Structure 1
Amino acid sequence: MTNTPDGFTYRVRKSGDIEMLHHGRPAGVLRGAKAARFLVDVDQEDPQELMARLTGNYRHGNERAAKNHPRNRG
């Protein structure tokens, strides 16, 4: 099993804003210079990791502990 983020997509709005989605649900919006920078970076980096970092949904450090929690077993 890999620890890479997945499920992120994005779309460019008519206004030039970038809407990021995680499994089809809104996860964040980038506007102005941040949106322009995102379009440059998304071609050079792993898009999934980039969007995970930008939305704040990126390795909280408790993944191993949460995996072993009784509610998440089996």
Structure 2
Amino acid sequence: MGQQAQGFRYVERADGSVVITHHGRVAGTLRGGRAAEFLAAVGDDPQLVVARWTGNHRRGNERLARQRPRNRG
């Protein structure tokens, strides 16, 4: 069974594929070489790795949020 990390979870199946879920909904399925790469990359911090592999790493609005008056330091 995979690791639980802030809503992300991954499960390695017997056929070698990896199913990634986010809050119980399937976010992606990896097969073959990509599944092997993913399992090799998931190490100490599965949250960051899973977010990057599913495309939930950056949304593109980080620069805009930084410019808001309430976020200025």
- TM-score, with structure 2 as normaliser: 0.70
Aligned residues between the structures: 61
Please list every run of 5 or more consecutive structure 1 residues that lacks an aligned counterpart in the other structure: 69-74
Residue 19 of structure 2 aligns with which residue? 19
Q: Which runs of 4+ in 1 moved over 6 A?
A: none
In the aligned structure 2, how far is the partner of 1:42 from the partner of 1:58? Answer: 15
AA aligned to 2:6 is: D
Please list every run of 5 or more consecutive structure 2 residues that lacks an aligned counterpart in the other structure: 69-73
Identity across matched positions, percent: 52
- TM-score, with structure 1 as normaliser: 0.69
Report SS of the residue matched to 1:59. coil
1:7-35 superposed Cα distances (whole Å, 9 cap, x missing partner): 10000112110000001110001111111
> For the aligned residues, what is the CA RMSD?
2.1
